[in-house]
Amino acid sequence: MTGIGNTAPDPGSASNPSSPADLVAPAHIPEPPFSPGLLGLAQRVVAKTEDWIIIAVLALMVALPIIEIVGRKAFGKGISGSAEFVQHGTLVVGMLGAAIAARKNRLLTLATTEMLPVGRPRAIARFIAGVVGAAVSAVLAYASVQFLHDDPQLDEAIAYGIKRLWLTASLPLGFGAIALRIVWHAADRWPGRLAALLVTAGIVAGAAWSPVPPERMIWPLMAVLIVGSALGTPIFALMGGAALILFWGHDEPVAAVPLAHHTLSTNVMMPTVKLFTLAGYFLAEGGASRRLLDVFTAWFGWIRGGPAIVTVLICAFFTSFTGASGVTVLALGGLLMPILVAAKFSQRNALGLLTGAGSLGMLLPPCLPLILYAIIAKEQIKQIFLAALLPGLLQIAMVIALGLWQSSKDAQTRQPFVARNALGSLWRAKWELLLPVVALVALFGGFATPVEASALTALYALITQTLLSRDMSFRRDVPRAMVECGLVIGGVLIIIGVAQGFTNYLVDAEIPAHAVEWVTSAVKSPAMFLLLLNVFLLVVGCVMEVFAAIIVVVPLILPLGLAYHIDPLHLGVIFLANLELGFLMPPVGMNLCLSSYRFHKPMAEVCRSVLPTLGVMAVSVLIITYVPWMTTWLPSLFATPIGQGP
C-alpha cells in the first residue's frame, strides 16, 4: 500500500463527507507553505524555476518527435540527435519531477504511519523516516558523481555541441535536492531540521568510515532501512538503499545503482511513458470527464444499472491513459459517487464498485505498466497491447455484470433513452472519443514510432482541451497539468530506476537461475506453477508499487515462465492482472487507502464494500491464467511476436 505524502485528511475523521460539494470538489493537493522572509522568497524562486524547466523539457519532448515525422515525410530526414535528446529529456524530467515531489512532500511511501497516534509518535516516526530517506538520497548523489566521473562517453556531444554530461548531471543534482528536502520535511522547526541533517551526515559518515567490514554491516543497515520504510521513508529509498547496501557490502561499486537508473531512464521506449501520461493529465485537467460521463449516461442510463456501466467504462478509460488507478479514484470519485447513490445503489455497493472500477484499465492500451513490461521483457509494445486487450475487456465486462446485479430494480431510477440527447453527447465528446483512435492508428499505422505516437497523442489531447473544447487555459491550466504530470512520473521513475539497480544485483548474484532450478525441481505441473504464481503475484501487488514490482519481479519470473513453456506475453498479462487485483486486497491494497481518503470512510468499511468486486476480479484472473488463447490470439493475427518462449 502506498501513500503520496499528505494527500488527504485522516480517513477516520468523518464517516461521511460534510456536504455534496465535498464529493464533487477536485482532489488538488496544495503545496506545503513556504517559509517567511528571504528564505521563503528564495524557495518560491527555486520552485518557479523548477516548474518552468519541467514544462519546457516536456514541451520539447512533445515537439521533437512530431518534427521528426514531418521532417521524414517532407525532407527525408529529421533533427540530428532528436531521439537521444528526447531520451535524456526523460531522465531530466524524471529527476526534476522527483525533486518537485520531494519539495511538495509527495514522494511515494508506505502508508503505515497512518496507524500511529497523532502527535509525538508520528513526529518521531517522521524524523526517523526523514533521516533514513535523506541518508540514502545523499549516498545516491555521491554514487551519481562517481558514475559521471567514470563514464567517458558522457563527455561526448549528442549534437550541436550539447554533451550528454550536461543532461546526466541531473542525477546528482536531483538526488542532492531530494536529500535536502527530505531533511526539511523531517521536522516543522529549525532545531528538528538541523538535528535531522546532523544525524543524516552521521549515518553516512559512520557507514563510510566504520572499522567494521562492509559485509558484516549488510544486515544491520538493512534493518535500519526496513524500520525507516515502515515509518514513512520513501519507497525509492527502500529500493535504492537496499541496492546500495548490497553492492557496497559485496565490494562492488555503488555507482552501479545510478548507472542502472540512467540506463532505464534513457531507454529508447521510456519517453512513451511520460507522453501518454501527459495526454491523460490534459484530459483530466479539461472537461473530458464530464463530457464522457454525459455520453455513457445518455447511452446507458436507460438500462437497469446504467450508472454502473458508466462508472466502469469511464474509470477504465481514464486509468488506461493515466496509468495509475489511484489517480482515477481521486479524480473521478467525486463525479461518480453521487450518480451511483442517486440511482439507489446502497452506499456500500456504490463505494465498492467505484473503488474496484478504479483498478480497471491497466490491461487496456496505452496503459503505462504495459509499456514498461514490454521494455523490461524485451517484447514489442504493439504485441503486449494486443495481448492484453481481450483480458482487459473481460474484466470490464465482469465488473459491469456485478454492477448490473447490484443495481436497483426501481424503473424510476432509470433515464429514458432520447436519441437526440445521445447523439448530441457523442458530438460534444467527439474529440475525447477519437483519442484512442489517434493513439492506436499512429502506433499501428506504420508512419510513427511508439514515442512519436505518444507525442502525437499528447499534442492531440492538448489541442482538443484548449483550442477546440476550450476547457483549459494555456496560461493557467496547461502549466499546472504539465508540472503535475512531471511530478507523478518523477515520483514513479525514481522508484523504478533505483529498483533496476536492485534487480541488477539479483541478476549478478544469479538469483533468477537458482529460483528456476529450485521451482522446477519442486513443481512439475505447469498448472500448479501458474496457481502458485498467482498467489505470489497477488502478495506482490499488495505490498509493492506497481512500477517497482515490474522492474524487480519480472526479471525473476520470466525465466520461470520459459521453463514451463509459458508465452512471455501471456505471463505479462497474468502479472499485471494480479497486480490490478492486489490494489483491492484488504487490508493493504492501495485503492482501498485512496478510496478511504477520498470519501472519508473508515478503512474497514471500504474493505467490506469491495469484497464482491474483489471476488469477480479474482475469477477473471483465473480465466486469464488458464485460457491462454485470450492473450495470444490477437498478437498471432497481426504479427509474429519477438522473444517468445518455446
DSSP class per residue in 56-102: HHHHHHHHHHHHHHHHHHHHS---TTHHHHHHHHHHHHHHHHHHHHH
Q: Average model confidence (pLDDT) for the chain?
A: 83
Q: If we measure between CA atoms, which residue out of 234, 224, 217, 231 comes closest to residue 545? A: 234
Residue 346 has pLDDT above 50, yes or no: yes
Q: 192 falls in which pLDDT band (50, 70, 90)?
A: very high
Higher local confidence (pLDDT), 215 or 446:
215
The label of the residue with cell 503486449 reads: 384
Name residue 194's amino acid: L
Out of 93-102, 142-151, 455-464, 493-502, least confident range: 493-502
For helices 381-406 and 347-357, the axis angle rounded to 10 degrees is 170
Average pLDDT of span 147-161: 90
pLDDT at residue 598 is higher than 70:
no
Is the pLDDT higher at 321 or at 559?
559
Query: What mean pLDDT do residues 404-417 have?
Result: 68
Give per-residue burial for 237-261: e unless 16+ CB within 10 Å, then b: bbbbbbbbbbbbbeeeebbbbbbbb
What is the pLDDT, as a whole number, of residue 111?
A: 55
* Whether the predicted pLDDT of 1 surpasses 60: no
- What is the reported pLDDT for 545? 64
Cα–Cα separations (whole angstroms), residue 586 to 73, 343, 579, 593, 616: 53, 27, 14, 10, 15
**Of the ranges 369-373, 398-402, 436-440, which one carries the lowest mean pLDDT score?**
436-440
Q: What is the pLDDT of residue 27?
A: 41
The single-letter DSSP state of residue 473 is -
Q: In which element (H, E) is residue 341 found?
A: helix 325-342
Q: What is the reported pTM?
A: 0.76
**Confidence at residue 330, expressed as pLDDT on a 0 to 100 scale:** 60
Q: What is the pLDDT of residue 348?
A: 87
Which residue, chain included where needed, has cell 542525477? 171
Structure-model confidence comparison of residues 348 and 288, the more confident one: 348
Residue range 531-550, pLDDT digits in tens = 888 888 887 776 666 777 78
Query: Of 48-52, 320-324, 532-536, 634-638, which has the strongest mean pLDDT?
Result: 48-52
C-alpha 178/C-alpha 132 separation (Å) is 12
More confident residue, 302 or 142: 142
The mean pLDDT value for 559-564 works out to: 88
- How does pLDDT run across 602-633, given as a tens digit for each residue? 767 888 888 999 999 999 999 999 999 999 99
Q: What is the mean pLDDT of residues 366-391?
A: 88
- pLDDT bin (cut points 50, 70, 90) of residue 639 is low
Region 296-318: mean pLDDT is 80
Return d(Cα 26, Cα 334) in angstroms, integer.
Answer: 7
User: What does the pLDDT average to over 50-75?
Assistant: 92
Mean pLDDT of 240-269: 91
pLDDT score of 617: 92
Please report the pLDDT score of residue 24 as a whole number.
29
pLDDT at 139 (0 to 100)? 96
Q: What is the pLDDT of residue 588?
A: 59
Q: What is the pLDDT of residues 15-62, one digit of tens each?
A: 333 322 232 233 455 677 777 888 889 999 999 999 999 999 999 999
The answer, yes or no, to whether residue 523 has pLDDT greater than 90, is: no
The whole-number pLDDT of residue 114 equals 60
Q: Which carries the bigger pLDDT value, residue 209 or residue 330?
A: 209
Q: Give the model confidence (pLDDT) of 387-406 as tens digits.
A: 999 999 999 999 999 988 88
Q: What is the pLDDT of residue 641?
A: 42
Supply the pLDDT for residue 113.
60
> Over the stretch 450-491, which tens digit does the pLDDT of each residue have?
889 889 989 999 999 999 988 888 888 999 989 988 987 888
Average pLDDT over every residue of 229-249: 91
Percent of the chain scoring above 90 in pLDDT? 34
Q: What is the pLDDT of residues 122-146, one digit of tens each?
A: 889 999 999 999 999 999 999 999 9
Using a 10 angstrom Cβ sphere, with 0-12 exposed, 13-18 middle and 19 or more buried, the burial of residue 330 is buried
Q: What was the pLDDT predicted at 418?
A: 84
Give the cell for residue 466: 484548449
Say what the pLDDT of residue 278 is: 87
Task: Tell me which residue of 229, 624, 642, 565 sits closest to 388, measured CA to CA.
Answer: 624
Query: At a CB cut-off of 8 Å and minimum separation 6, what does 580 contact?
Result: 325, 359, 360, 362, 363, 395, 541, 617
pLDDT at 594 over 70: no
Report pLDDT for 322: 62
Helix, strand counts (H, E) of the chain = 29, 4
